[in-house]
Amino acid sequence: MTRSKMREHCFKMLFCADFYPAEEKTGQLIQYFEEPKEDDLNAEGVEEIIHDVDMSEENAAYLRERAESIMIKIPELDSKINEVAEGWKTKRMGKAELTILRLALFEILFDEEVPEKVAINEAVELAKKYGGNEAPAFINGVLAKLV
């Protein structure tokens, strides 16, 4: 599985877990892998798989560990985001945009295998897919101030 696909799964896991209280978040990460395959029609009317976690146990374990590591760092990540996001504190941000920022900032600060430019570019791509119309520019601007 590509790193981009792994990153997208991690984003989805974190996004879903963010709707639950702290004591239920770990359970939600496990639940992510138990959900059935799901598809839907995209904007062009073509059937597209939107949820499929058919992956090796090794990849699943890596994703669970990665998501848990990010969740532990959320207070620190949010603090750094709040320092630079002018007029947009984390409490006001959309959940998709905030989750993308947290994931990218975690990669920038704590994952030496991911170059900063790659983390930013991948975050912008996730924002194009999952965020609002202004999300890619917003994500790019916030992350540019953090590096």
List the chain domain ranges: 3-146
Which of the residue ranges 30-34, 76-80, 120-124 would you say has the lowest mean pLDDT? Answer: 30-34
Question: Considering only CA atoms, which of 38, 41, 60 is closest in space to residue 50?
Answer: 38
The pLDDT score that the predictor gives to residue 40 is 60
Average pLDDT of the segment spanning 18-30: 76
Query: pLDDT tens, 100-132?
Result: 999 999 999 999 999 999 999 999 999 999 999
Average pLDDT of the segment spanning 51-80: 89
Q: What is the mean pLDDT of the chain?
A: 88
Fold adopted by 3-146: N-utilizing Substance Protein B Homolog; Chain A (1.10.940)
> Which contiguous run of DSSP H or E holds residue 83?
helix 74-84
The pLDDT score that the predictor gives to residue 12 is 92
Q: How far apart are CA 125 and CA 87, in angstroms?
A: 23
Which of the residue ranges 34-43, 98-107, 136-145 would you say has the lowest mean pLDDT? Answer: 34-43
Amino acid at the residue 135: A
Q: How far apart are CA 27 and CA 107, in angstroms?
A: 23
Q: Is-contact 29 17, C-beta < 8 A?
A: yes
The pLDDT score that the predictor gives to residue 83 is 94
Q: How far apart are CA 126 and CA 118, in angstroms?
A: 12
DSSP state of 114: S
**pLDDT above 90 for 96:** yes
**Would you say the pTM of this structure is higher than 0.75?**
yes
Q: In terms of residues, how long is the chain?
A: 147
Question: Considering only CA atoms, which of 72, 108, 77 is closest in space to residue 90?
Answer: 77
What angle in degrees, to the nearest 10, is found between the helix axes of 3-17 and 22-32? 140
**pLDDT above 80 for 45:** no
> Which contiguous run of DSSP H or E holds residue 50?
strand 47-51
